[in-house]
């Protein structure tokens, strides 16, 4: 029931701001085409179709993760600003559960949007693609870490107020630091550091599955998949723990109604 309510609300908001949504879609389509042109120039024309597909996979995954992060944090900030945060808090439903449902809805919403973006870009760039079994599981695990990070930011907003603005620069940094556009294996220090960030391991596994066509059950046996599981569990665990701490701190300080 709660999931359906949040889905309807998101759909109605998107319908109300359809011009903004379309403009945003065009921005990300044109943005990737520009990046493709830059990479083609930088590699002197050797930016192959598989390389373009690898970049597209990272780009679209990052788009969903960034949208979900900002969606979760903005929903809490809006509740605080509109005065509905206290009402939800005093109801029988746990606010953390509501925020988790909103995270799921944000992922579904931005997944639909990137399917449209990806479909157009695949046609324009003439990239062949197939989604083998296991793609969905790796995709969900990859996005879980971003949701965990969103919960950390939401926790900071509960305690310190007005910190939702950091969600956008953090999401933007992930585009470059995780190797979403291009693998960072050629930069050893950055590559090792990226293993600790959200998205990085999952994007690499998605590329191995979709671009390299490696069997899913072979990937499950690799250290990279174990690393993805640990990364998702760590970020979700830290995110939930920090949110629980923030709730206690807010109630003790009596600052829930502050904005």
Residue range 2-27, pLDDT digits in tens: 889 899 999 999 999 999 999 999 99
**Locus of tokens 């990085």:** 200
pLDDT of residue 237: 96
pLDDT band at 42; cut points 50, 70, 90: confident
- When pLDDT is averaged across residues 118-123 and rounded to a whole number, the result is 96
| Alpha-carbon distances, residue 34 vs 52, 121, 125, 221 (angstroms) | 12, 12, 12, 37
């Amino acid at each position: 029931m709660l999931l359906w309510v949040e889905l309807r609300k998101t759909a109605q908001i998107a319908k109300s701001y359809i011009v903004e949504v379309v403009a945003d879609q065009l921005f990300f389509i044109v943005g990737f085409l520009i990046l493709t042109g830059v990479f083609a120039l930088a590699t002197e024309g050797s930016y192959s179709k598989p390389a373009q597909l690898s970049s597209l996979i990272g780009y679209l995954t990052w788009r969903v993760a960034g949208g979900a992060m900002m969606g979760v944090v903005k929903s809490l900030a809006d509740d605080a600003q509109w005065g509905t945060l206290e009402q939800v808090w005093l109801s029988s439903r746990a606010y953390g559960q509501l925020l988790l449902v909103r995270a799921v809805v944000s992922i579904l919403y931005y997944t639909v949007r990137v399917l449209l973006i990806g479909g157009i870009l695949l046609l324009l760039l003439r990239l062949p693609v197939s989604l083998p079994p296991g793609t969905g599981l790796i995709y969900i695990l990859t996005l879980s870490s971003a949701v965990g990070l969103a919960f950390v930011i939401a926790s900071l907003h509960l305690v310190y107020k007005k910190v939702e603005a950091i969600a956008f620069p953090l999401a933007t940094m992930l585009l470059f630091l995780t190797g979403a556009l291009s693998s960072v294996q050629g930069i050893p220090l950055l590559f090792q550091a990226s293993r600790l960030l959200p998205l990085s391991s999952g994007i690499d596994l998605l590329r191995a599955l979709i671009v390299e066509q490696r069997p899913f059950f072979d990937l499950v046996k690799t250290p990279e998949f174990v690393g993805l599981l640990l990364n998702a569990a760590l970020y979700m665990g830290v995110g939930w723990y920090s949110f629980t701490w923030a709730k206690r701190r807010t109630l003790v300080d009596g600052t829930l109604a502050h904005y």
